[in-house]
Amino acid sequence: MSNDFEEDVVTLCQEMIRIPSVNYGEGKGNESAIAQYVVGKLSEVGIASKIYESAPGRCNVIANIEGSDTTRPGLVVHGHLDVVPADADDWSVDPFSGEIRDGMIWGRGAVDMKDMNAMILAILRKWARDGVKPPRNLVIAFFADEEAGSIYGSRWMSTEHPELFAHCSEAISEVGGFSVTVGDGKRLYLIQTAEKGIHWMKLIAHGRAGHGSMINNENAVSAVTEAVAKIGKHSWPQRYTKTAKILFKLVAEATGKVYDEKDLRPLLVELGGVARMIGATLQNTANPTMLESGYKANVIPQVATAVIDGRFLPGLEGEFDETIRKIIGPDIAIETIARDIALEVDFSGPLVDAMCNAIKAQDREGIPVPYLMSGGTDNKALSKIGITGYGFSPLKLPADLDFMSLFHGVDERVPVESLIFGVNALEHCLKNS
């Protein structure tokens, strides 16, 4: 590592991983320790910040950095403090050790998203020491609860404290700006400009309770499992967004392959491990994830339920809902567990230029491209108060690293050199945003 700035980002990432800010869902999470850590690291260099507690232990941190031109709309730079659980028995290392092994920082949150949090903190600490001001005001937000629907995090903050973001027009956060090696070694850097919408739903089948030894043609278990099987086997039609078309045109150019707008799927093979996620953005999807019914082997229950994780493309929420209803028929009830919007913005404008230029400043041969994310981020909540969000957590990754498998996966890790690339690229972006 060439300087204190780069050493700082590595240390910050390790130290945050060692704080197990695990979110178990259903309100069972606690970000208080890591929130206090963030406040302390900012305070060390004279930056004031405030913790907003949405529920006991559910902590969000906000700091304001004044820009050189305070008349411009501000930029929100945000991360989330929580991580998903990790079973230590499955890991090669202690998932909360922050150990450096094989040139990588290992641990839960290494890529989702304590690496980005470390980048943000390292940049702010450097600027405070050097007296650097960004070109416009920055609202720095570290949210709670992103891993379980953002109820205690960005949703609560944007609803209860919208004034904190009132003068901001744009935002940048996670899952974007990472490299994918294609063709004969060309590196595409995927900047997130769109997200699928979410419809998590419970299917409810009602039937006639009875003895398990008797014939029952109104069996709730049979009804719900038949509906689940139909959803699981449904072949969703291809639907190509403007983001997908731009991405695949650039993939075709980089690899010398044929671009056929009627069917983009042949180009997926060029994207390696990222293809699993990108492939899910070429259509709506619905995956059965949970089943529940019954209490005894010889009792036919009156009710059976299933949970479906539904994701729809921008502009296709209506088509998605209509298709689900058609698949399962009129007798199965649908109860919405969670629903959130899809996002899509243009791959253009000054902030996009700043992100692209930041990539090229660190990697002359890098090719910035837009992409649509199959999941969601806290940008959804901010969009509801008029803020346009992008994913830009830059990383130059080894060609053979299956990056997408690390999100919520066993042995989550981030290369040290990728983190150093990222903090320099992110700083370049923020200095020119």
Average pLDDT of span 217-233: 97
Q: Give the β-pairing of 197-206 and 367-373.
A: unpaired
Residue in this structure with the two tokens 């989330």, named with its chain if needed: 80
**Minimal CA–CA distance to 197: which of 265, 290, 264, 284?**
284
Q: Give pLDDT tens digits for 85-134.
A: 999 999 999 999 999 999 999 999 999 999 999 999 999 999 999 999 99
For 412, phi and psi rounded to 5 degrees? -60, 135
CA angle, corner 427, sides to 424 and 431, nearest 5? 140
Q: What is the pLDDT of residue 44?
A: 98
Q: What is the 3-state secondary structure (H, E, C) of the chain?
A: CCCHHHHHHHHHHHHHHCCCCEECCCCCECCHHHHHHHHHHHHCCCCCEEEEEEECCEEEEEEEECCCCCCCCEEEEEEECCECCCCHHHCCCCCCCCCEECCEEECCCCCCCHHHHHHHHHHHHHHHHHCCCCCCCEEEEEECCHHHCCCCCHHHHHHHCHHHHCCEEEEEECCCCEEEEECCCEEEEEEEEEECEEEEEEEEEECCCEECCCCCCCCHHHHHHHHHHHHHHCCCCCCCCHHHHHHHHHHHHHHCCCCCCCCCHHHHHHHHHHHHHHHCCCCCEEEEEEEEECCCCCEECCEEEEEEEEEECCCCHHHHHHHHHHHHCCCCEEEEEEEECCEECCCCCHHHHHHHHHHHHHCCCCEEEEEEECCCCCHHHHHCCCCEEEECCCECCCCCCCHHHHCCCCCCEEEHHHHHHHHHHHHHHHHCC
In tens, the pLDDT along 230-283 reads 999 999 999 999 999 999 999 999 999 999 999 999 999 999 889 999 999 999
- Give the phi and the psi of residue 221 in degrees, each rounded to 5: -65, -45
Single-letter amino acid code for the residue at 297: A
Which residue from 77, 150, 147 is spatially nearest to 119, judged by alpha carbons? Answer: 77
Residues in the chain: 433
Position 36 confidence tier, pLDDT thresholds 50, 70, 90: very high
User: How much is the pLDDT for 2?
Assistant: 61
Query: What domains lie within the chain, and their CATH numbers?
Result: 4-184+343-431 (3.40.630.10), 195-340 (3.30.70.360)
Q: Which residue has the tokens 């009804």?
A: 223
Tens of pLDDT along 331-342?
999 999 989 999
Q: Which residues contact 138 (CB under 8 A, 6 or more apart)?
A: 64, 65, 67, 74, 75, 76, 77, 430
pLDDT over 90 at 167, yes or no: yes
pLDDT at position 273:
87
C-beta neighbour count of 89 within 10 angstroms: 6
Mean pLDDT across the stretch 218-230?
Answer: 97
Question: Average pLDDT for residues 152-180, to the nearest whole number?
Answer: 97
CA distance 237 to 322: 14
Measured between alpha carbons, how far is 378 from 173 in angstroms, rounded to an integer? Answer: 8
Please write the tens of the pLDDT for every residue from 241-250: 999 999 999 9
Q: How far apart are CA 90 and CA 411, in angstroms?
A: 8
CA 328 to chain centre: 30
Q: What percent of the chain has pLDDT over 90?
A: 97
What confidence tier does 184 reach under pLDDT thresholds 50, 70, 90?
confident
